[in-house]
A and B are shown apart, each in its own frame.
Chain A
Amino acid sequence: MGKSRWLLLLVAALALALGGCGGDDGDDEAGGGDGGESGGTLVFAGASDPVALDGALVSDGESIRVITQLFETLIGLKPGTTELEPALATEWEVNDDATVFTFTLREGVKFHDGTDFNAEAVCFNFDRWYNFKGPLQNPSASYYWQSFFGGFAKNESEDLSPSLFKSCEAQDDTTAVLTLTKPSASMLGALTQQAFSIASPKALEEFEADAGTVDEETGFKPTGTFGTEHPIGTGPFKFESWTRGDRLVLSRYDDYWGEKAKLDEVIIRPIGDNAARLQALQNDEIQGYDLVEPQDVPTIEGDENLKIIERPAFNVAYVTINQAQKPMDKLEVRQAVAYGLDREAVVNNFYGGRGVVATQMMPPEVMGYADDVTEYTYDPEKSKELLQKAGLTLPVPIDFWYPTDVSRPYMPDPKRNFEALAASLNKAGFKVTAHSAPWSPDYLGRVDEGTAGHLNLIGWTGDFADPDNFIGVFFQSFSPQFGFRNPELFNLLDQGEAEADEAKREEIYQQANRLIMDFLPAVPYAHSKPALGFRADVDGYIASPTTNESFATVSIGGGE
């Protein structure tokens, strides 16, 4: 019987040891400082590791989240809003043409490595991006530059358009002048993006931010350490260390020009699974995380140790109408689709109380939103009338696609959305054939190529607060996704992009939104407010529609 007694003893010893050490969860808890005024460490969970901490070369949300703490842009956003405010630039002037932008820069700002921030540093950064070569010109690297400025000094691919950027001039230490090749009034809004944040020229050079090996098989591999070990900016936090799959540590920058961060340290850890993030929050192993699943929102709200913070809606979920697929080229048929979708039911049931019905292809927060667009409340009888008017026999067969294996902020449960919308269309004179494909790459590829049926479910989260970043992206020129050519709409959006006068610009975009909701290239159905989960004693986190969220104002421990 010796063996079993020994075994029992072992089990008992283990239980004792666990019990003994279990009492203090101390080492897994990040506490606040005294009275919650300052100090302490906050642990925040991201969905994955960042790719690199170089704003110009990334487009994933986790990289941008960290970059936002370390770097700053010329123009910032008032926290929680889409209103522009001074950041590294204190004033700016735009010429009548909207081609020359003169920035007065903030004085007395230093990078984390002690070098001075000045106009030369600003132009160094802009010139760096403009002169990207080789693999850095690929959209998988410099997406945001290309999205706004188009091409580079020397385009190496014919898929790149001539650059919008002309030059940057450092007139003196505190004056930087940016000149464009064509008018663009959305440049000020675009400059709030982290892709245009200013890095220390000394660090960029010393740590070889652009260096890398290129191999046809393996693609681009950066060899410099700027984006992985020395991301030196002017922001309220500086970089400490990064262990992949484990943690990324930031600490307060005590020589920050503005109000210093309250926390001593921010640690970001990658936790991919939603349930794991929730349990880590409940266990106080993390003090906050992003993109709470709708079904977890009631759990968090019902727990007195936790709380939900809402991010203002900055997205749109819509049903693409591919006009290259007949009979979608007929206006009456598109109108029938619009009247045949029960959008309210979807928003009320599948968005966890965090959605609103969308009336147009951009959220109310964005300038150019029109209150008087044509609205389409669910009216299946009207749909049937319109289809008959178009000379079609009912029911009209259509292919309707939706993605699987995915949850997007604007569409948390694609399948449910689809089932409800398809059912409402079936009552409205259509006969829906369902199709689905895994989100990436199959579904995305199809939607982009225009091979995802007559209708498909997709959406968009804005990059920056400008109408051009919503309806300009969708409808400024022909795309296979929507399959139409509408010169009136294309021209109107071109005009909007070029118009320097704020008031006139707003009118143009409002007109565009009215036109879009009459022309119906797509039917928008929801804007959603993503939710973040935090421990109840975390104060000062301000959610921003564009996810420009700083940890500098955050503190832990309300002082009880």
Chain B
Amino acid sequence: MLRFVIRRLLLLVPILLGLSILVFAWIRALPGGPAEALLGERLTPESRAQVEEQYGLNDPVYVQYWRYFKTTVVDRDLGTSITTRRAISDELKERFPATIELAVGAMLFAMTVGIPLGYFAAKKYGGTFDHASLLISLLGVSIPIFFLAILLKYIFAIKLGLLPTVGRQSVLIDTPHPTNFYILDAILAGDPEALWDCIKHLILPAIALGSIPLAIVARITRAATLDVQNEDYVRTARAKGLSPRAVDLRHIFRNAMLPIATIVGLQTGLLLSGAVLTETVFAWPGIGTWLVEAIDNRNYPVLQGGILFISLVFVLVNLIVDVSYALINPRIRVS
């Protein structure tokens, strides 16, 4: 097992190296540069020349790449954002926790609703509940997140006045943010009002973002449960005289968890790369909007540092999924 993990971690090196070259080449290949974003209509040939000089964009490509490589790997400095003039590592420290909170919230929603939904759909195979769950899954996948988000805000915030529409916390509540996980910060500050406020702000975005994973988890759970239900060992367990509940828990549910765990892991990895639409509609300051704005602004350092970081996260999450897979299923551990 340890060897397995180490081997996978070592693979990270060529992956990240290759990615850095790809990302670097791709964004440099895009026409235009940061000058237009920085100056807008005020752009003149002279001012553009000066901006390009400042950011070393007139040097040959390999020189620029080497500078980037040296800064990132040797100096361990992810660089400075061209538009905000802040260290990219600082921006990551603010944005990534926001994305993690949103991703965890969305997956929690997807799992707490999706797994029971799929499980009972399988148990009541062919019945009304099963068909209803199919409908819900279809809706979850088909409704554009953007539309769902605005709709949820309209109903629950504007019409019913139950929840807020934007941000991670009410501006009238002040708590320190040592970790940038707002919910955790509220707990650390021992402030129940702030904690409840942060949770309220997370509910609608989590539902909007979790709608697609919900659909997927529900369908996979249903399929996995149906699959397992008809296995020999389940029939044996029932024949042995085990109570239905014991059969459910110990045999059906536990074995169905394998594909579900994989899906949950993959979905979480995806969500951690940023959820642009949800972040935009809820003004949630996560990685998604950060990167999309960086593309428009040709903010090379942010793109290079940010995309590399996300790739790292994605690879690690997949590694965790694989390891947990082996943990759940002893047969894989042995091989």
| Contacts from A to B (Cβ < 8 Å) | 2-4, 7, 18-19, 21-23, 25, 27-28, 30, 41, 43, 49, 51-52, 59, 135, 137-140, 143, 146-147, 157, 159-160, 215-222, 243-247, 249, 267, 269-273, 275-276, 279-280, 282-283, 285, 405, 438, 440-442, 444-445, 448-449, 458-461, 479-480
Report the Cα distance A323→B35, complex, angstroms.
25
Report the Cα distance A462→B79, complex, angstroms.
34
B77 contacts A441, C-beta separation under 8 Å: no
**Can you give 8 A-B contacts (C-beta < 8 A)?**
A27-B172, A27-B193, A51-B83, A140-B50, A217-B68, A267-B171, A269-B166, A279-B158
- Interface of B (DSSP majority class): helix
What is the minimal beta-carbon distance from B305 to any residue of chain A, in angstroms? 10
Report the Cα distance A216→B58, complex, angstroms.
11
Taking CB atoms and an 8 Å cut-off, the chain B residues in 279-300 that contact chain A are 280-283, 285, 289, 296-298
For the complex with contacts A272-B289, A276-B280, 14 further pairs of A-B residues with Cβ separation under 8 Å are A18-B163, A19-B162, A22-B160, A51-B84, A59-B39, A138-B50, A216-B55, A219-B54, A221-B80, A276-B281, A280-B165, A440-B36, A441-B37, A479-B45
What is the minimal beta-carbon distance from B206 to any residue of chain A, in angstroms? 13
Q: Does B318 sit at the interface, judged by CB under 8 A?
A: no
What is the minimal beta-carbon distance from A39 to any residue of chain B, in angstroms? 14
Q: Does B219 sit at the interface, judged by CB under 8 A?
A: no
B170 contacts A27, C-beta separation under 8 Å: yes
B169 contacts A246, C-beta separation under 8 Å: yes
User: Which residue of chain A is the closest to B86 with respect to CB atoms?
Assistant: A221
| Residues of chain A with a CB closer than 8 A to B31's CB | 441-442, 445
Interface string of B48-70 (1 = CB under 8 A from A): 11110111100100001001101
With A22-B161, A27-B170, A245-B94 as known contacts, state yes or no: A440 contacts B40, CB within 8 Å: yes
Q: Does B4 sit at the interface, judged by CB under 8 A?
A: no
CB-contact partner of A140 in B38, B95, B168, under 8 A: B38
**CB-based closest 5 A-B pairs:** A441-B32, A245-B285, A441-B36, A22-B162, A218-B80
| Residues of chain A with a CB closer than 8 A to B45's CB | 448-449, 479-480
Interface string of B263-287 (1 = CB under 8 A from A): 0000000000000000011110100
With A43-B171, A279-B166 as known contacts, state yes or no: A143 contacts B157, CB within 8 Å: no
Q: Does B197 sit at the interface, judged by CB under 8 A?
A: yes
With A157-B50, A159-B49 as known contacts, state yes or no: A4 contacts B80, CB within 8 Å: no
B289 contacts A218, C-beta separation under 8 Å: no
CB-contact partner of B85 in A27, A222, A271, A279, under 8 A: A222
Report the Cα distance A337→B70, complex, angstroms.
54
B50 contacts A7, C-beta separation under 8 Å: no
Report the Cα distance A285→B208, complex, angstroms.
20
A448 contacts B197, C-beta separation under 8 Å: no
A7 contacts B37, C-beta separation under 8 Å: no
| Residues of chain A with a CB closer than 8 A to B80's CB | 215, 218-221
Report the Cα distance A341→B37, complex, angstroms.
30
Interface string of B73-97 (1 = CB under 8 A from A): 0000101101111110001001100
Q: Does B98 sit at the interface, judged by CB under 8 A?
A: yes
What is the minimal beta-carbon distance from A353 to any residue of chain B, in angstroms? 24
A276 contacts B285, C-beta separation under 8 Å: no
CB-contact partner of A159 in B32, B46, B120, B158, under 8 A: B46
Report the Cα distance A80→B150, complex, angstroms.
35
Q: Does B154 sit at the interface, judged by CB under 8 A?
A: yes
Report the Cα distance A140→B37, complex, angstroms.
10
A279 contacts B154, C-beta separation under 8 Å: yes
Interface string of B142-177 (1 = CB under 8 A from A): 000000001001100110111111111111110001
B170 contacts A28, C-beta separation under 8 Å: yes
A458 contacts B50, C-beta separation under 8 Å: no
Report the Cα distance A247→B168, complex, angstroms.
11
User: Which residue of chain A is the closest to B116 with respect to CB atoms?
Assistant: A7
What is the minimal beta-carbon distance from B320 to any residue of chain A, in angstroms? 28
Report the Cα distance A279→B157, complex, angstroms.
9
| Residues of chain A with a CB closer than 8 A to B51's CB | 138-140
A52 contacts B166, C-beta separation under 8 Å: no
Q: Does B47 sit at the interface, judged by CB under 8 A?
A: yes
With A271-B283, A442-B31, A445-B32 as known contacts, state yes or no: A219 contacts B82, CB within 8 Å: yes
Q: Does B232 sit at the interface, judged by CB under 8 A?
A: no
| Residues of chain B with a CB closer than 8 A to A243's CB | 177
Report the Cα distance A392→B199, complex, angstroms.
69
Report the Cα distance A275→B146, complex, angstroms.
10
Report the Cα distance A27→B175, complex, angstroms.
14
| Residues of chain B with a CB closer than 8 A to A21's CB | 162, 196, 200
